[in-house]
Structure 1
Amino acid sequence: MSETKAIELICFPGAPSLPIFAAQEKGFFEKAGVAVNLSTTPNSAYQAENLINGTFQIAGTAFDNVVAYQEDAGVYKPESTPDLFAFMGASQVQLALVTAPDVKTFDDLKGKSLALDALSTGFAFVLYEMLARAGLKSDDYEMVTVGATPQRWESVREGKTAGTLTIQPFTAMAQSQGFNVLQTSTDLFDCYQGGSFAASRAWAADNADTVKGYIRGYLDGLDWVFDPENQDEAIEILLRNMPAIKPAVAGGVLKNLLNPRSGLTPKGAILPDGVDTVLDLRSRYGDGPKLTDHARYIDLSYYNQVI
Structure 2
Amino acid sequence: MKHKLISALLGMAFLGSAHGALCAEMPTLRYVQGGNSTSLSQLPITVAQMKGFYAREGLRVEFVTNDESNSAAAEEGYNPSIERGGPGDITTVSAGFFVHAVLNGSDAVAISAQTANPVYSLIVRPEIRTFDDLWGKEITLTAPWDTITITTRKLLASHGIGPSDFQFKRIRNSDARLECLQSGECAAITAGQPYDIQALNMGMGFHRLGTNYEAGPVIFNLEIVRRAWARDNGDILVRYLRAAANAMRFINDPNNRLEVMEIIRELTGEPQEIVNEIMAGYEDLTLRILPRQAELDMESFQHFLELLEEAGVSSEPLPRAEHFVDLTYAQAAGIR
Normalising by structure 2, report the TM-score. Answer: 0.80
Consecutive unaligned residues in structure 2, runs of 5 or more: 1-21, 74-78
Relative distance call for 1:213 and 1:142 in structure 2 (3 A) is same
Consecutive unaligned residues in structure 1, runs of 5 or more: 73-80
Decide whether the 8 Å contact of 2:302 with 2:320 is kept in 1.
no
Query: Which range is displaced more, 214-223 or 257-266?
Result: 257-266
Aligned equivalents of 1:43, 1:166: Cα separation in 2 = 20
User: How far has the Cα of 1:299 moved from its partner?
Assistant: 0.3
Report the residue type matching 1:296 in the other structure: H
Report the residue type matching 2:264 in the other structure: L
Decide whether the 8 Å contact of 1:12 with 1:61 is kept in 2.
no
- 2:225 corresponds to: 199
Decide whether the 8 Å contact of 1:149 with 1:170 is kept in 2.
yes
Decide whether the 8 Å contact of 2:197 with 2:274 is kept in 1.
yes
Q: Deviations over 1:220-243 (max 9, x none)?
A: 211111122221121111111112
- 1:75 corresponds to: none
Report the residue type matching 2:31 in the other structure: E
Superposition pairs of residues 122-271 of structure 1, within 5 angstroms: 122-177=147-202, 178-189=205-216, 191-243=217-269, 245-260=270-285, 261-271=287-297
The equivalent position to 2:55 in structure 1, one of 19, 30, 45, is 30
- 1:295 corresponds to: 322
- 1:3 corresponds to: 26
The equivalent position to 1:50 in structure 2, one of 81, 89, 92, is 81
Higher relative CO (Cα under 8 Å, sequence separation at least 6) belongs to: 1
User: How far has the Cα of 1:40 moved from its partner?
Assistant: 7.5
Decide whether the 8 Å contact of 2:64 with 2:88 is kept in 1.
no
Secondary structure in structure 2 of the residue aligned to 1:60? strand
- 1:76 corresponds to: none
Aligned equivalents of 2:66, 2:190: Cα separation in 1 = 18
Q: Deviations over 1:260-297 (max 9, x none)?
A: 42410111121222112111111122233222422210
Q: Deviations over 1:13-57 (max 9, x none)?
A: 532432211112122122221224164858643783333332232
Decide whether the 8 Å contact of 2:69 with 2:80 is kept in 1.
no
Relative distance call for 1:222 and 1:115 in structure 2 (3 A) is same
Secondary structure in structure 2 of the residue aligned to 1:88? strand
Superposition pairs of residues 68-87 of structure 1, within 5 angstroms: 68-72=100-104, 81-87=105-111
Decide whether the 8 Å contact of 2:66 with 2:81 is kept in 1.
no
Aligned equivalents of 2:135, 2:268: Cα separation in 1 = 34
User: How far has the Cα of 1:251 moved from its partner?
Assistant: 0.9
Aligned pair count reads 297
- 1:118 corresponds to: 143
User: How far has the Cα of 1:136 moved from its partner?
Assistant: 2.1
Report the residue type matching 1:241 in the other structure: L
User: How far has the Cα of 1:100 moved from its partner?
Assistant: 2.5
User: How far has the Cα of 1:128 moved from its partner?
Assistant: 1.8
- 1:304 corresponds to: 331
Decide whether the 8 Å contact of 1:226 with 1:258 is kept in 2.
yes
- 2:16 corresponds to: none
- 1:59 corresponds to: 91
Alignment RMSD, CA only? 2.4
Relative distance call for 1:221 and 1:36 in structure 2 (3 A) is farther
Normalising by structure 1, report the TM-score. Answer: 0.87
Aligned equivalents of 2:160, 2:226: Cα separation in 1 = 40
Report the residue type matching 2:227 in the other structure: R
Q: Identity across aligned pairs (percent)?
A: 21
Relative distance call for 1:4 and 1:64 in structure 2 (3 A) is same
Report the residue type matching 1:10 in the other structure: Q
Aligned equivalents of 2:299, 2:153: Cα separation in 1 = 20
Aligned equivalents of 2:282, 2:245: Cα separation in 1 = 15
